[in-house]
Amino acid sequence: PRDLRELAQQQGIRIGTAVDIAALRGEADYRKVLNREFTQVTAENAMKWESVEPARGGFTWADADALVENAKRDKQSVRGHTLVWHNQLPAWLTTGVADGTIGDDELRTILRDHITTQVRRYKGKIRAWDVVNEVVEEDGTMRQSLWLTHLGPGYIADAFRWAHRADPHAKLFINDYNLEWNTPKIETTLSLVKDLQARGVPIDGIGFQGHLGIQYDYPGDWANVMRRFADLGLEVAITELDARMELPVTEEKLAKQADYYRRALTDCLSVEACRELTVWGFTDRHSWVPGWFAGQGAACLLDENLAPKPAYRALLAVKAPR
Ligand code: G3I
């Protein structure tokens, strides 16, 4: 294949990326590569609750709309990210809950309205939604979020039902990190999915974020974990792949990084139900990593100047197990 788009077509999967809306608007070279290489997009931040409703009832859809519009022009599908999360909530919401001016019944209504409003707005335009994000803790207990504390565990089933009602054709996903290898998290998430299915809750897919670091071992069991979710009838997606490293960059580290990307794609292709590989940003020019992990970076497929790194070439070289 010549590029990722052609690779995606040949392998019959979607190859997506998270998109930085400011870069999409302001950088012609970024936009060009985005639209040439990728068959799907996810908003890195623009569809999160704090972005779309910074003041209560005051909606700011311009950035999210821009992403969806651009995707339409360049024939990309869209992954919606994310409806229910404990981070990047608007301050009016967290403050209102904390000081008691928003009670639990009202909070439930607010969540229902949020999901309904956002999913309905993009009805037919978003292929898949990350309905709930990161709802399980590292030790396998349910995450102690504002949602669990105030609404109880039923908020998860409710969220899927509300999303389904607002767009019956969108694929509804549960999404998490460290699910590539963390046994307690894997087991709890599997039980959660089975429980939802037993109660007739509309859940279609599992998203593995895939935030890897090359200073750690590659999660060698990942394909087997994917298969366990696929065996429950779920579609599988890698939703936020990257592979960070300790700076400075060396040839050796780039080679190791290339191997991590290659293995992630190979794992996905080895599981029939894995239909998507999305990277969390495609260029080191715009990546969340340096801001979050001191001394680390260079996690993406292309460098700051949009030049392909060994990892990019490694993806193109993957031979079809399909
Ligand atoms: O919007 C403000 C801006 O007004 C302000 O001037 C600027 C100064 O710091 O901050 C801006 O907000 C930042 C926002 O990204 C938008 O750029 C936040 O500080 C920053 O914390 C936020 O980080 C995002 C992070 O989620 C927050 O939770 C990252 O860009 C984004 O890549 C990251 O994405 C998450 C996925 O949603 C879920 N999985 C993990 C992944 C990586 O953490």
May I ask the CATH architecture of the domain 4-316? Alpha-Beta Barrel (3.20)
**Strand, coil or helix: what is 124?**
coil
Residues, the chain: 322
Name residue 172's beta-bridge partners: 129
For residue 322, name the pLDDT band (cuts at 50, 70, 90): low
Whether 134 is catalytic: yes
pLDDT digits (tens, 9 = 90+) for 82-125: 999 999 999 999 999 999 999 999 999 999 999 999 999 999 99
For residue 215, name the pLDDT band (cuts at 50, 70, 90): very high
- Atom 35 of ligand 1, residue of closest alpha carbon: 44
Residue with tokens 């909070």: 107
Whether 53 is catalytic: no
**Residues sharing a CB contact under 8 Å with residue 146, sequence separation 6 or more, in sequence order:** 86, 89, 94, 97
pLDDT digits (tens, 9 = 90+) for 162-204: 999 999 999 999 999 999 999 999 999 999 999 999 999 999 9
- Is residue 88 within 6 Å of ligand 1 at its C-beta? yes
pLDDT for 271 equals: 98
Indicate the top mutation candidate among 288, 289, 300 to test ligand 1's pocket, ranked by most ligand atoms within 8 A of CB: 288
Structure tokens at 214: 């090359």
- Atom 43 of ligand 1, residue of closest alpha carbon: 288
**ipTM of the complex as predicted:** 0.92
pLDDT for 69 equals: 97
For the chain, which residues make up each domain, given as ranges? 4-316
User: Is the pLDDT assigned to residue 134 strictly greater than 80?
Assistant: yes
- Is residue 44 within 6 Å of ligand 1 at its C-beta? yes
**Catalytic residue selected from 37, 44, 53, 134:** 134
> 77-84 and 14-19: which strand pairing?
unpaired
